[in-house]
Amino acid sequence: MVADKVEIQTLSYQQGAEPARWICDGSTTFELSEGNRTERGTDIILYVNEENKDFLEKYKLQSILDKYAKFLPVPVQFGTRTESEPDGEDEEGKPKYKEVEKPNIINTVKPIWTKAPSELKDEDYLSFYKELYPFTEDPLFWIHLNVDYPFNLTGVLYFPKIKNDVEIQRNKIKLFSRQVFITDDVKDIVPEFLMLLHGVIDSPDIPLNVSRSFLQADGNVKKINTYITKKVADKLAELFKNDRKSYEEKWNDIGVFVKYGIVSEPKFAERAKDFVLLNNVKKDFFTLAEYREKVAPVQTDKDGNVVYLYSANADRQHSYISAAEKKDTMYCY
């Protein structure tokens, strides 16, 4: 699409192989002849056309490599870089350095999602997060995905601190297939209520270049969607059980995901009823069961229904809240 013609010079590793040259201008015909390589390997040469000369500029190539090749499983070199190396000592015994040219490897061959969680520390997850999102605050916590049956899926999903510009934070999950970047549009693969998460997922079992209707009907995609929902629910339940105080401190951020999940995903709602929180105007937190038990004695009507008083803005509704408090009733958010 960007070149007048493409030429390939290649030589196989096999004993006695001869170099070959293939060239094509994009039409239905091509030329195959003897090549000029003397060592095994392949050169792919693009004769870039005039209107796409910007693809030869360093910054343009760098941005393409950063997007699509940043985590390829083989080293990718883009030019060279200058580094300082020790070069003995000067007359005063101080170390000397010399500038040397070294291959500029632009990718991380073994990113953290390809490793076992037992190999990693918190610092590794935070460092990777900063690599993906350099100008973003540290995440609240993360989930490491690693399953090889009945489908293959690896990845790391981060719970970010939620800002007011929620829409801007969408499309932050990157989809890879065998460490090759595919897209950051993961609709249907990741449940809708988790689209605000950050991170990466990698699966060779997700069909590529197909219509959205086909994607929605694919069995592996449905299983992956269900698995991610379960892993998130498990993680939230674990955080709530192990350190409720810390969970409550994060609730302003976590609550967005949990409440959205409850109204949009029935299976998640069933799990989330145990760790979704309500807080009253005094900033006390309650689970649904705890809140019902708290208010039932004074907020049950004549038909036996427990009544929840809800406030969207405690300051504006202060007079109603004060009147309720005098009757020992309680408002929640």
Distance CA 152, CA 202 (A): 8
For the chain, give every domain's residue range: 3-56, 112-267, 277-332
Q: Considering the chain, what percentage of its residues have pLDDT values greater than 90?
A: 50
| Chain mean position to CA 35 | 43
Q: Are strands 309-310 and 95-105 parallel, antiparallel or unpaired?
A: unpaired
308 contacts 295 by C-beta, under 8 angstroms: yes
6 versus 187: the higher-pLDDT residue is 6
Higher pLDDT pick, 331 / 240: 240
What is the C-alpha to C-alpha distance for residues 21 and 36, in angstroms, rounded to an integer?
Answer: 8
Residue 27 above 60 pLDDT? yes
Task: Judge contact between 175 and 199, C-beta under 8 A.
Answer: no
For the segment 192-202, the average pLDDT, to the nearest whole number, is 89
Q: What CATH number was assigned to the domain covering residues 112-267?
A: 3.30.230.80
> In terms of Cα–Cα distance, which of 24, 64, 28, 63 is closest to 44?
24
Please state whether 47 falls in left (phi above 0), alpha (psi between -120 and 50) or beta. Answer: beta
Mean pLDDT across the chain, nearest whole number?
86
Which residue from 296, 298, 297, 332 is spatially nearest to 317, judged by alpha carbons?
Answer: 332
